[in-house]
Amino acid sequence: MANLALKGGTPIRTQPFTSWPIVGDEERKLLLEVFDSGVWSFGGPKEAEFAKKFGAFTGAKESLCVSNGSVSLEIALRALGVGPGDEVIVPALTWHATAWAVVQVGATPVFADISEKDWCIDPAQIRAKITPRTRAIIPVHLYAQIAEMDEILEIAKKNSLFVLEDCAHTHGSRWGDQGVGTLGNIGSFSFQQSKGMTGGEGGILTTNDEELAWKIYGLKNCGRPWRDGRAGFGGNYRITEFQAAVLLPQLERFEKQLATKTENIRIFREHLEKVTGITALKPKARVTRQGLYGFGLRLDPAAFGNVPQDIIISAIKAEGVPIQAPYNVVYKSGLWTPGAKLVKFEKGANPAERLGLNSDCPIAERISAKEGLVLLHHLFLGTAADMADMANAIAKVQSNASELRFDALEKKVTGAAKSFLRKVGIGA
């Protein structure tokens, strides 16, 4: 009789974990207010209130709402003057929106590998990838980590490069006494449905530089004049009042939710320390507050019987714990590679080069496809018992990994060998 739920055993857990998004009467009330007011967009009062409060929350002098956290990156690059002929260094491990924004402004994304310790862009890799065409770096604060910002800012200063922080994952994270999104030239946040603060969709750009704020304002609001009367130039990337109405109570609730997540992460770490072959990524000493979207765990494949990552994930899920793999490396992602055929590049350009399809970032590839596991933030809004269940499910899969060896074998073989395994009832 098998122990693992994937093989017919009893799961660790059958109750669901805390689901997301969490909403209440406050969102309903504000949504109705917007509905009845007839002011549904165009820089209405809810957007103004949210932008002001989010600015205070991060410590940014200027904060400007936009429709989502992908176009925010594009707008930021345009505001920085990045365009055709320029190169922008981005991490290989990120949601592909980070690199898409670069292509969107006509520049070339240059993929840099990540560090083993934090899965964020490796400063040494940035140094190695700088060319005379490099204009900007986009560090992504990924899986509850903050990139090595002191070193990145130093590299940027030395080489006259802009720094655009992609903070889609890290609402509320703090680096020393500064909020993320205020460390580089511009910060970009996402409020998409699954993020730690959501308006269904939505984004915001933060900066301490009023010149950039003026440009961003024009870019997102059809070139309308900034508050000092200066004209801008741009399209429509506005957020709606409905999104801002949902975001206001989300921001209100955030501090309390993050305190719960922080305490639960502490408890989860304690449990996890007793499990063989798995470690949680640690925040750096400079991190004074750890906001998060996904929480990164690293498995030692040998301790899990060298069973492939996707089978381990299926086995943990079967125990009742929703766990997932990290993002695909961008240049191998099925959401990125079709661009070589679908994007029209400048005359004479090589699409594979323009999309970085021949990049080689072995650490990002290994973490993405072999060693990384991710738990989403809302799981940490539950009880201490939830934390024990999460760790116990992983421990159970680790100690019973031998039950998965035929699944692993079946994955390795093809054709006749596969049907033979099925026929004799192993690996099925």
Interacting residues with ligand PLP (CB under 6 A): 68-70, 94-95, 97-98, 140, 166, 168-169, 190, 192, 203
C-alpha pair distances (Å), 142 with each of 190, 225, 293, 326: 13, 35, 8, 10
Cα Dmax for the chain: 77
Query: Cα separation of 75 and 184, whole Å?
Result: 15
Instruction: Please identify, using beta-carbon distances, which residue of 97 and 272 lies nearer to ligand PLP.
Output: 97
For the chain, first and last CA: distance in Å?
Answer: 15
Residue 116 gets the label, from left (phi > 0), alpha (psi -120 to 50) or beta, of alpha
Instruction: Please identify, using beta-carbon distances, which residue of 5 and 216 lies nearer to ligand PLP.
Output: 216
Query: Cα separation of 229 and 403, whole Å?
Result: 69
Instruction: Please identify, using beta-carbon distances, which residue of 17 and 95 lies nearer to ligand PLP.
Output: 95
Instruction: Please identify, using beta-carbon distances, which residue of 196 and 203 lies nearer to ligand PLP.
Output: 203
Rounded to the nearest whole angstrom, what is the least distance from the CB of residue 372 to ligand PLP in the complex? 15
Instruction: Please identify, using beta-carbon distances, which residue of 169 and 215 lies nearer to ligand PLP.
Output: 169
Instruction: Please identify, using beta-carbon distances, which residue of 138 and 315 lies nearer to ligand PLP.
Output: 138
Instruction: Please identify, using beta-carbon distances, which residue of 183 and 275 lies nearer to ligand PLP.
Output: 183
Q: How many CB atoms lie within 10 A of CB 360?
A: 11
Question: For residue 220, which amino acid is it?
Answer: K
Rounded to the nearest whole angstrom, what is the least distance from the CB of residue 54 to ligand PLP in the complex? 14
DSSP readout, 276-311?
A: TTEEEPPPPTTEEE---SEEEEEE-GGGGTT--HHH
Task: Please classify residue 235 by burial: count the beta carbons closer than 10 Å to its beta carbon, then call 0-12 exposed, 13-18 middle and 19+ buried.
Answer: middle
Rounded to the nearest whole angstrom, what is the least distance from the CB of residue 318 to ligand PLP in the complex? 26
- The two tokens of residue 119 are 């899965």
Instruction: Please identify, using beta-carbon distances, which residue of 95 and 331 lies nearer to ligand PLP.
Output: 95
Instruction: Please identify, using beta-carbon distances, which residue of 188 and 398 lies nearer to ligand PLP.
Output: 188
Cis peptide before 21 (omega within 30 of 0): yes
Radius of gyration of the chain (CA): 23
Rounded to the nearest whole angstrom, what is the least distance from the CB of residue 194 to ligand PLP in the complex? 7
Rounded to the nearest whole angstrom, what is the least distance from the CB of residue 190 to ligand PLP in the complex? 3
Rounded to the nearest whole angstrom, what is the least distance from the CB of residue 66 to ligand PLP in the complex? 9
Rounded to the nearest whole angstrom, what is the least distance from the CB of residue 101 to ligand PLP in the complex? 8
Strand 62-66, strand 134-137: pairing: unpaired
Rounded to the nearest whole angstrom, what is the least distance from the CB of residue 71 to ligand PLP in the complex? 7
Query: Cα separation of 317 and 389, whole Å?
Result: 12
Instruction: Please identify, using beta-carbon distances, which residue of 4 and 330 lies nearer to ligand PLP.
Output: 330
Nearest to 362 by CA among 101, 122, 96: 122
Rounded to the nearest whole angstrom, what is the least distance from the CB of residue 67 to ligand PLP in the complex? 8
C-alpha pair distances (Å), 13 with each of 116, 332, 396: 32, 34, 12
Query: Cα separation of 51 and 61, whole Å?
Result: 11
Q: Taking CB positions, which residue lies at the least distance from ligand PLP?
A: 69
Rounded to the nearest whole angstrom, what is the least distance from the CB of residue 203 to ligand PLP in the complex? 5
